[in-house]
Amino acid sequence: MSSITKPRLWESFFWPTIAAALLLAIWHYSVVFTGTKVFPSPMNVKTGVVELLDKHVLWADIGDSLRRVALGFGAAVLVGIPVGLWLGWSAATYQVVNPTLQILRPISPIAWIPVAIIFFGVGDRAAIFLIFLASFFPIVVACVSGVSSVPPVLRSAGRNFGLSTLQLIWRVIFPAALPQILVGVRIALGIAWLVVVAAEMIAVDSGLGYLVIDSRNSGKRYDLVVAAMLMIGIIGLVLDFSIRQVERIKSVRWGFRDAS
Amino acid sequence: MSSAQAVVTVAGAGNKLRVQHLGMVFERDGEAVSALEDINLDVSEGEFVCIVGPSGCGKSTLLNVVAGFLSPTSGSVTIDGEAVSGPDPRRILVFQERGVFPWLTVEGNIGFGLSKLPRAEREARIAHYVQTVRLQGFEKAYPSDLSGGMKQRLQVARALAVNPDILYLDEPFGALDSITRVIMRGELLRIWQTERRTILFVTHDIDEAVQMADRVVVLSSRPAKIKDILIIDIPHPRNISSPHYLELRDELLKQIGLAYEI
């Protein structure tokens, strides 16, 4: 974005296409030259995708993965933002809770899998819990830092108009911190999408993560494994693109640097 | 009796704001630093008072204490006989910059303090103050699309919309370019003359003070004490090259301790 000459329209499509094609070519010829029987070529993967679509399992798996992310990530947004706002607001609460938070935060959500299974059994709820955990911390951390960087002038202005503490948090602190909170939410969604795949490999028997591990286990179908991986990548990209659209809303756009 | 107290009251109008023996001591690195010392000031209803002083002297501290954002360590501030104990929508402080809410439109900012009003009345009030500060056509614009001068006008409009009896302005034009600053002074005077609010205006710009104020309070450098209070007895609009204007301006420069020649 910072380069002085803006690439022409055809160039901004042409070169990325060349790069992707080159990668596919390297992949294809590596498979051909090594004569591997295990790893699929791009063409095999394409047939794999078609096969998955024909059997209608792919759509069901995508739906299951998205549903888990929606629930776990959604709950993390709903709980994480109020908790984070309060921690950012109340220095006393923050002092009490922060050490515990800092110990829990670096624990990989994957390490929680056994615990999640004890709590919720093998099934949807364990996976959703893991996604919740994974997205909760980045949201809370973003809220706390967002609140602490709200200019004091804006707090004073809010107080001057006679707002109570809760009104001040809702009408001044939250909107002022929202651009930073959204960055945390976006990171959280990315993590949620990583974690759902991992969780589905262990805790449930549907979804894209399950598709990857099941394709390998039942007959070493690596064409399907790679096909599922590709789908995971594409959907992740779509999710990130979608959430970035929120940043274009006018009432938060002021907080992003590339805003006009 | 200090010289300050000798010239305080303007005949007629009742005292709106009374500052008595105000002192402010900050704790900095375990040391007590005095910012304000024995400030005594009476401001009448509808009066325009400027506070000038060298930068860092405590002008803004004084304004923040008077507005209720800071509690004084000694003395008192009373408005209409009632002690000030915190910020209050009846008195609005306008900040030097970045005081408008960037997530709200012009309308949203002006209506910020009006959420308790019925919708129709709120909209009428917003429309009125959009007019007052001449932001017609920018009602739906966000602050990021406004110039510095427009943002300050918006802050003034947001303050006036809640119908305060006193406006506190903390170097409101300090961050603007010199041409915009002159225009803004005219705008504020026009608004003051039609709305008739009491105004307490902090500035480090001597011309600004002499052009606008009824009285100018001169503060000494830290700890701030009132050195003198000058009455600017020139009717508006003021001729800024008249001998009397220049005389008062020179007097003010002398008070602040600046030489006549650079």
CA atoms within 13 A on the CB side of A217: 9
CA atoms within 13 A on the CB side of B116: 8
Q: Which two tokens stand for residue B41?
A: 């000031």
CB contact under 8 A, B92 and A160: yes
Q: pLDDT at position B195, please?
A: 84
Give the Cα separation of A236 and A233 in Å (integer). Answer: 5
- Asked if A64 and A127 touch (Cβ cutoff 8 Å), the reply is no
For residue B98, which residues of chain A lie inside 8 Å, CB to CB?
151, 153-154
- Asked if A240 and A189 touch (Cβ cutoff 8 Å), the reply is yes
Which portions of chain A are predicted below pLDDT 50?
A: 1, 259-260
Give the Cα separation of B70 and A152 in Å (integer). Answer: 13
CB contact under 8 A, B95 and A254: no
CB contact under 8 A, B144 and A157: no
* CATH fold label, B1-90+166-262: Rossmann fold (3.40.50)
CB contact under 8 A, B87 and A160: yes
- Asked if B252 has any chain A CB less than 8 Å from its own CB, the reply is no
CB contact under 8 A, B99 and A255: no
For residue A252, which residues of chain B lie inside 8 Å, CB to CB?
103
What residues does each domain of chain B span?
Answer: 1-90+166-262, 103-163
CB contact under 8 A, A259 and B92: no
- Asked if B175 and B96 touch (Cβ cutoff 8 Å), the reply is yes
Q: In what order do the strands lie in the sheet with B31-44?
A: B31-44, B15-28, B74-79, B82-83
- Asked if A251 and B104 touch (Cβ cutoff 8 Å), the reply is yes
pTM beyond 0.80: the answer is yes
- Asked if A256 has any chain B CB less than 8 Å from its own CB, the reply is no
Strand ranges inside B143-208, DSSP E: 166-170, 198-202
Closest residue to A153, CB basis, from B86, B98, B113: B98
Name residues whose C-beta falls within 8 Å of residue A107's C-beta, 6 or more positions apart in sequence: none
Name residues whose C-beta falls within 8 Å of residue B125's C-beta, 6 or more positions apart in sequence: B110, B111, B114, B117, B161
CB contact under 8 A, A154 and B101: yes
For residue A250, which residues of chain B lie inside 8 Å, CB to CB?
142
CB contact under 8 A, B99 and A250: no
Question: Could you list the pLDDT tens digit for every one of the 262 residues in chain B?
Answer: 344 443 444 444 568 899 999 999 988 888 888 889 999 999 999 999 999 988 778 888 999 999 999 999 999 999 998 999 999 999 999 998 889 999 999 999 999 999 999 999 999 999 999 988 889 999 999 999 999 999 999 999 999 999 999 999 999 998 888 888 888 898 899 989 888 899 999 998 888 999 999 999 999 888 888 988 989 888 888 888 888 889 898 888 888 876 555 5
- Asked if B156 and B188 touch (Cβ cutoff 8 Å), the reply is yes
CB contact under 8 A, B103 and A175: yes
Q: What is the pLDDT of residues B81-100, one digit of tens each?
A: 899 999 999 999 999 888 99
Is the preceding peptide bond at B223 cis, omega within 30 degrees of 0? yes
For residue A159, which residues of chain B lie inside 8 Å, CB to CB?
69, 86-87
Mutate to test the interface with B, among A154, A156, A160, A248 (most CBs of B within 10 A): A160
By residue count, chain A amounts to 260
- DSSP one-letter string for B48-66: EEEEE-STTSSHHHHHHHH
| Amino acid, single-letter form, for residue A17 | T
Give the Cα separation of B212 and B160 in Å (integer). Answer: 18
Closest residue to A254, CB basis, from B69, B102, B112: B102
Q: Which residues of B59-75 are buried (b: 16+ CB within 10 A; e: fewer)?
A: bbbbbbbbbbbbebbeb
- Asked if B81 and B20 touch (Cβ cutoff 8 Å), the reply is no
- Asked if B98 has any chain A CB less than 8 Å from its own CB, the reply is yes
Taking CA B71 as the corner, what is the angle to CA B65 and CA B74, rounded to the nearest 5 degrees? 95
Q: Is A40-253 a CATH 3.90.1260.10 domain?
A: no
| Closest Cα in chain B to A178 | B103
| Amino acid, single-letter form, for residue A123 | G
Q: pLDDT at position B9, please?
A: 42
- Asked if B245 has any chain A CB less than 8 Å from its own CB, the reply is no
Distance from CA of A168 to the nearest CA of B (A): 12
Q: Which two tokens stand for residue B4?
A: 């300050």
CB contact under 8 A, B144 and A153: no
Give the Cα separation of A113 and A59 in Å (integer). Answer: 25
Residue A137 CA, chain-centre distance (Å), reads: 13
| Amino acid, single-letter form, for residue B78 | T
Distance from CA of B176 to the nearest CA of A (A): 18
Taking CA A177 as the corner, what is the angle to CA A174 and CA A181, rounded to the nearest 5 degrees? 100
CB contact under 8 A, B101 and A160: no
Radius of gyration of chain A (CA): 23
Q: pLDDT at position A258, please?
A: 56
Give the Cα separation of A116 and A131 in Å (integer). Answer: 11
Distances in whole angstroms, Cα of residue A203 to Cα of each of A59, A155, A243: 20, 46, 27
Q: Which two tokens stand for residue A42?
A: 């791009």
CB contact under 8 A, B99 and A157: yes
Q: Which two tokens stand for residue A125?
A: 């709820």
